[in-house]
Amino acid sequence: MGIGFKIKFLDIHQSYFKGKVEANGEDFTINIQNERRGKVLKLPVKPKTEKDRFLVRLTGPGDIFIEDYLPYKGESEWVEIDSDAITFYLADHQDKFDTLEIIDD
């Protein structure tokens, strides 16, 4: 199990993506960038399980997806994802994702 977010939009900026996601009727800002700080996952909602890392997966219609294992670094007002793999894949497939999953197994 995990946490699911609906991706409302992701806008590309110079070296990162910023947008809005929704979970349980609540909107959150999302920031996705490269690994300048190392791999990072911060969430505005506390995960149901206490784990050191989670599988982060973005999916869209058809077979498109990207995923990476990221260390959980605690709570934040935003969804923060620092991953080279996700950032670089998003640069080529920006408007193709509609779901963000934080998977704890």
Q: What is the pLDDT along the chain (105 residues), one digit of tens a residue?
A: 689 999 999 999 988 999 999 999 999 999 999 999 899 999 998 888 888 999 999 999 988 999 999 999 999 999 999 999 999 999 999 889 999 999 986
User: Could you tell me the pTM of the whole model?
Assistant: 0.94
Which residues are bridge partners to 72 per DSSP? 41
Domain ranges of the chain: 2-103
Distance CA(101)–CA(67), nearest Å, equals 9
End-to-end CA distance of the chain: 7
Coil, strand, or helix at residue 29? strand
Distance CA(58)–CA(60), nearest Å, equals 7
For 8, the token pair is: 């409302």
